[in-house]
Amino acid sequence: MRNKKVLLGMSGGVDSSVSALLLKEQGYEVIGSTLELFVGSSCCNINTYLDAKSVCNQIGIPHFTYNCKDEFKQYVIEDFIDCYANCKTPNPCIECNKYMKFGYMWEKAKELGCYYIATGHYAKTEYSKKYQRWVLKKSKAGKKDQSYVLWNIPKELIEHVLFPLSDFESKEEIRKMARDKNLKVANKPDSEDICFIPDGNYKKFLENNSNLRPKQGNIVNTKGEILGKHIGLYNYTIGQRKGLGISYSVPLFVLGFNQAKNEVIVGKEEDLYKKEITVTDFNLLLVDEIKGEIEVEVKTRYSSKVAKAKIKQDENKIKVDFFEPQRAITPGQSAVFYRGDIVLGGGKIES
C-alpha cells in the first residue's frame, strides 16, 4: 500500500538538505540516511555525517547512518579497478547509484516501511500515459541534469523514487532556499571529484589499492610503428593528448590500446571519430526490449551533448549507429539513450 514515508539519501550537501526541506513541506514523513561508503571520501566523512545530522535536527526529522563499506568495495571499488586493469575508463557514480543509492538504500527503506526513496539528484520521475509506465526523465537543470548517471536503476523502482529538485533550473535557486531557511550548508562547495579519490589522483589510488603497477611498453601509431614508450596502460585514456612524451609532425592523441602487446595506440585527431559502437550490460527503462531499429538521441559522456543515432538490439548487445561520427568514445563509459526528455535506457560502451 502506498504511503508518504520516504528514506532520503543525505550527503551533508545543499542539494540533499534542500530535498529534505521540500519533502517535509510536501507532507512526506521523511527519514534522512547517510551511507558510510569509503574512509576518507568526500561524500562520507565525519563532516558529512555531522552536517547531515545537523540539518535533520534543524528541520525535525530522524537521521540514520549505515555502514556499507564492504558493499561499496565489492560493487564500486573493485569495478573501478577492474575497468582500468582492462583498458576501460569507468564511471563509478553509475555503479554507486545502481548498487548503493538505489540498491542498498531501497532495501533499508523497505525495512523501515517506506514506500519511497529520494535523493538530491537533478532528474525526474513521473507516470507516462503515452507509455503506460513510470519513466525517468531529464530535470529542468540543463547542463546539471543527472539523468545520465541514473540509467542503471531497476525499472520497477522508478515509481518508488522521488527527486525533489527536478523542477529547479539553477543551483543558485537551491542555495537561496537553503539560506532562507538558515541551513548552515547553504554555501557548502559542490564535490566535483570521484568521492573516494578527493585529491583527483586516480593513478595513485589504483597503485595503493590494487596490484596495478607501471609497466613500460611501446606507444605505436595505427601502422604499428613505435613512436615512444608509455609508463603503464592505466595512465592513459582515449582522447588524451598531453603527457605522451613524443614529438611528431602533427598532434597525436590516444586512440586505444593493445592489451596483449602492452601498447598504447595513437593517431591524428580525425582518427578519434567513430560512427558505430557496441553497448553491453544494458538496462532498458522505457521498453522491455528494442524491436527492430529505432531512432534515439545518445549521450556517451556526462558532459557531452546528445547525438542522433539508430539503435538495434542483438540479444545481449545493442548496436549504435550515429548519424554523425562522435569524438573519443571510450569503452567503460556509458551510452544513454533518450526519447525526447525520457531515458529509454543505457549500457556500457564495449567498443
**How far from the centroid of its chain's Cα atoms is residue 57's Cα?**
30
Q: Residues of 127-152 as b/e, b for ≥16 C-beta within 10 angstroms?
A: eeeeeebbbbbbbbbeeebbbbbbbb
So what's the pLDDT on residue 1?
Answer: 59
Q: Cα-flanking dihedrals φ and ψ of residue 156, to 5°? A: -70, -10
The catalytic residues are 96, 195
* Domain ranges, ordered by start, for the chain: 5-180, 214-267, 272-349
The secondary structure element, H or E, covering residue 107 is helix 105-111
- Residue 186, burial from CB neighbour count under 10 angstroms (0-12, 13-18, 19+): middle
So what's the pLDDT on residue 118?
Answer: 98
Q: Does domain 5-180 have CATH number 3.30.465.10?
A: no
CA-derived radius of gyration, the chain: 22
pLDDT in tens, the chain (351 residues): 578 999 999 988 999 999 999 999 999 999 999 999 987 666 666 778 889 999 999 999 999 999 999 999 999 999 999 999 999 999 999 999 999 999 999 999 999 999 999 999 999 999 999 999 999 999 999 989 999 999 999 999 999 999 999 999 999 999 999 999 999 898 888 776 788 888 889 999 999 999 999 999 999 999 999 999 999 999 999 999 999 999 899 999 999 999 999 999 999 999 999 999 999 999 999 999 999 999 999 999 998 999 999 999 998 999 999 999 999 999 999 999 999 999 999 999 998
| Architecture of the domain delimited by 272-349 | Beta Barrel (2.40)
On the question of a common fold for 5-180 and 272-349, the answer reads: no
Nearest alpha-carbon partner for 341 in 172, 128, 160: 128
Alpha-carbon span 348 to 306, nearest angstrom: 16
So what's the pLDDT on residue 44?
Answer: 61
| Architecture of the domain delimited by 214-267 | Roll (2.30)
Nearest alpha-carbon partner for 234 in 351, 83, 92: 83
Residue type, 76: V
So what's the pLDDT on residue 200?
Answer: 87
